[in-house]
């Protein structure tokens, strides 16, 4: 069964009134999850309203009833790992065990430059990321105090209290074969790819199976998901408005979800054939609850 979730770019005009409206709608309409990006701003100007991710998820944890919540993803390039583990534990407990901690190495140069964070080159960025993964997974799953002497983090008798009441799934986002998939195979409960064409997703999905077995894990231990663009409308006119001014050839090449109900069902079905279990649909029009309601009708197709 393919699960459908909504993903919100929080730096792309999100404010409290929009967030409350979207969270309420997603919870009531039957989507399996509601995810948030974690950025200060967009990669290119203009700057827009940018609602801080962890605060917004804390609010959603106590103002929604059933929907799963998650970071997609929080970058360890400006989120310190011990505090990230503490925040994840708190949000998960408030939500009653509905939280997934999505983690990434960081990528967006503009926000790191503008707000004074060191993104690092790729090699050191991923080395820092793995240190953070080791720390977070230990704190969330191990009662024993952690002593850690790394190149980027040094801890002495670090422990997470209170202890998590539920298992908090770790999601790792990315589409690199050498680093991302190797980290997923070692540390994650879910792999999330970004805007990846279906043939490439299927290829990497198979390689992840092999890597999991080499790490003495089963392929079923890791959920497979993808975050992709979504230009959905309840009718052709609505779709046309959303696609106006966009490069349709480029969107098709990236296999972004677009169209009316039947078209979207067909496209989502092909992702399921590639091994995707959950699709996070990027919902850019933050005021368009009407078409979000229409999109929810697609869920019934994949519940059968």
Is residue 100 over pLDDT 70? yes
Give the model's pLDDT for residue 303.
75
| Domain CATH for 283 | 3.20.20.30
Closest by CA position to 54, among listed 18, 85, 97, 77 = 85
* Residues with Cβ within 8 Å of residue 300, at least 6 apart in sequence: none
Number of domains the chain contains: 1
Q: Is the pLDDT assigned to residue 304 strictly greater than 90?
A: no
CA 216 to chain centre: 26
Tens-place pLDDT, residues 208-241: 999 999 999 999 999 999 999 999 999 999 999 9
pLDDT above 90 covers a percentage of the chain that reads: 95
Which pLDDT band, with edges at 50, 70 and 90, does 163 fall under?
A: very high
H/E/C letters for each residue in the chain? CCEEEEEECCCCCCCHHHHHHHHHHHHHHCCCEEEECCCCCCCCCCCCCCCCHHHHHHHHHHHCCCCEEEECCEECCCCCHHHHHHHHHHHHHHHCCCEEEEEECCCCHHHHHHHCCCCCCHHHHHHHHHHHHHHHHHHHHCCCCEEEECCCCEEEEECCCCCCCCCCCEEEECCCCCCHHHHHHHHCCEEEEECCCHHHHHHHHHHHHHHHHHCCCCHHHCEEEEEEEEEECCCHHHHHHHHCCCCHHHHHHCCCEEECHHHHHHHHHHHHHCCCCEEEEECCCCCCHHHHHHHHHHHHHHCC
Neighbours of 46 (CB within 10 A): 6
What's the average model confidence in pLDDT over 90-112? 98
Pairing of strands 33-36, 190-194: unpaired
pLDDT of residue 300: 84
Check residue 156 and give its pLDDT: 98
Domain that holds residue 130: 3-302
Work out the average pLDDT over 200-212.
96
Phi and psi, residue 189, nearest 5°: -105, -10
The backbone torsions φ and ψ at residue 171, rounded to the nearest 5 degrees and listed phi first, read -110, 135
Instruction: Return the pLDDT at 70.
Output: 98
Model's pTM, two decimal places?
Answer: 0.96
Predicted confidence (pLDDT) per residue in 251-274, tens digit: 998 899 999 999 999 999 999 999
């Amino acid at each position: 069964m393919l699960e459908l979730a909504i993903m919100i770019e929080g730096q792309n005009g999100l404010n409290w009134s929009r967030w409350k409206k979207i969270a309420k709608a997603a919870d009531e309409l039957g989507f399996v999850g509601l995810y948030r990006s974690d950025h200060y701003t967009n990669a290119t100007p203009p700057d827009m309203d940018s609602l801080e991710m962890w605060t917004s998820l804390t609010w959603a944890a106590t103002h929604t009833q059933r929907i799963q919540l998650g970071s997609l993803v929080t970058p360890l390039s400006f989120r310190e790992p011990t505090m990230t583990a503490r925040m994840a534990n708190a949000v998960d407990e408030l939500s009653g065990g509905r939280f997934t901690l999505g983690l990434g190495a960081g990528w967006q140069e503009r926000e790191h430059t503008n707000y004074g964070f060191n993104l690092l080159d790729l090699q050191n960025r991923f080395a820092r990321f793995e240190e953070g993964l080791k720390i977070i997974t230990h704190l969330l799953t191990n009662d024993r105090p952690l002593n850690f002497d790394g190149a980027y983090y040094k801890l002495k008798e670090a422990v997470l209290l209170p202890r998590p009441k539920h298992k908090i799934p770790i999601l790792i986002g990315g589409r690199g074969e050498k680093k991302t998939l190797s980290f997923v195979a070692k540390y994650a409960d879910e792999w999330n790819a970004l805007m990846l064409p279906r043939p490439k997703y299927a290829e990497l999905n198979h390689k992840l199976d092999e890597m999991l077995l080499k790490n003495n894990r089963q392929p079923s231990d890791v959920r497979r998901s993808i975050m992709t663009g979504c230009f959905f409308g309840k009718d052709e006119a609505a779709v046309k408005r959303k696609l106006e001014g966009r490069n349709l050839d480029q969107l098709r090449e990236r296999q972004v979800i677009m169209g009316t109900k039947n078209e979207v069902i067909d496209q989502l079905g092909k992702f399921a054939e590639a091994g995707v279990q959950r699709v996070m649909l990027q919902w850019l029009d933050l005021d368009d609850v009407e078409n979000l309601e229409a999109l929810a009708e697609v869920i019934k197709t994949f519940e059968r």
